[in-house]
Amino acid sequence: MADHRLGPMTKSDLQFSYPDGPAAGDDPAQRGIPDSTLLNRHEWYEVLYSCNSWSGGSLATALKCERLIQRHLPADIRGHAAVLTWLQANWAQYR
């Protein structure tokens, strides 16, 4: 999948509430893709992009990814690589 914003999860599939617009200076339309270093778990488009890119094309996997990020991911884990490592290490522990 070349553009992770195209699915499998869409904005309407998100299970948590997010602000409508980007934080000041954090507009993906100006950058083209979300921040490459840190994941802002409060921005819907960054969560959507990341969960889609890590989902392997599965909506169920993308939805679980969002749940784990919002409910269980420690606040001090923010880098994309660190988030992915944490998800992989803790995936089986959560539903």
Q: What is the pLDDT of residues 17-74, one digit of tens each?
A: 999 877 666 665 665 555 668 899 999 989 999 999 999 999 999 999 999 999 999 9
Q: CA 84 to CA 69: how far, in whole Å?
A: 10
The pLDDT of residue 1: 45
Residue 85 lies in a domain: yes
How many domains are there within the chain? 1
Parent domain of 87: 34-95
Residue 80 lies in a domain: yes
Residue 4 lies in a domain: no
The pLDDT of residue 95: 87
pTM over 0.75: yes
> Is the separation of the CB atoms in 23 and 40 below 8 Å?
yes
Residue 39 lies in a domain: yes
Residue 75 lies in a domain: yes
> Over 60: is that where the pLDDT of 12 sits?
yes
Residue 8 lies in a domain: no
Residue 49 lies in a domain: yes
The pLDDT of residue 35: 60
